Amino acid sequence: MKLNLQRLAIPGMPDGVYEMLAKALISYPEPSAETTRLTLNLFDSDYDMDSGGFHPVEISLIRQGEEWQISYITDFAYHSQPFPELIKDIDVDIEQGCVEHVFTGRQSLAAGAELTQLFISNLIAYYDMGVYQQKLTIDDLS
């Protein structure tokens, strides 16, 4: 699929994220007119608490008329001992206008620009290295 991605001025968001999304979505069929949200999950099937690996990432796109825009990009990681749980590690939530990190808490997109830039730049590099498998979920109005 080829989407018309709206490039929002998001503090710290590298332009390369749009090229990465275009590459990730190219093999999927076009969404129907009723599709309101696309959720792309990127994951390393070898990632676990003991041996590590690349954190799973979820990217949500929402339809805005004829364009699509990023709603959020969330990195998940295992935390808590002795019973580790996969939780949000970094959450760049464009709809809510904030960035949240598990250890530093919530801050505005502007205040979290450095974290966003580092997180998304690494995500793009890992994607380009081919470490992720992916799955797309399509949400319709029905």
Indicate the CATH number of 16-26+37-132 among 3.30.750.24, 3.90.105.10, 3.40.1130.10, 3.10.450.430: 3.10.450.430
Joined together, the tokens standing for residue 105 give 């808490």
Domain ranges of the chain: 16-26+37-132
pLDDT reading at 123 higher than 90: yes
Measured CA to CA in angstroms, residue 48 lies from 54, 55, 76 at distances of: 9, 9, 11
What does the pLDDT average to over 112-120? 95
pLDDT in tens, 49-94: 888 899 999 999 999 988 999 999 999 999 887 888 999 999 999 9
User: Is the pLDDT reported for residue 3 higher than 90?
Assistant: no
Q: Rounded distance, CA 133 to CA 127, Å? A: 9
**For residue 82, what pLDDT is reported?**
82
What is the percent of the chain where pLDDT is above 70? 99
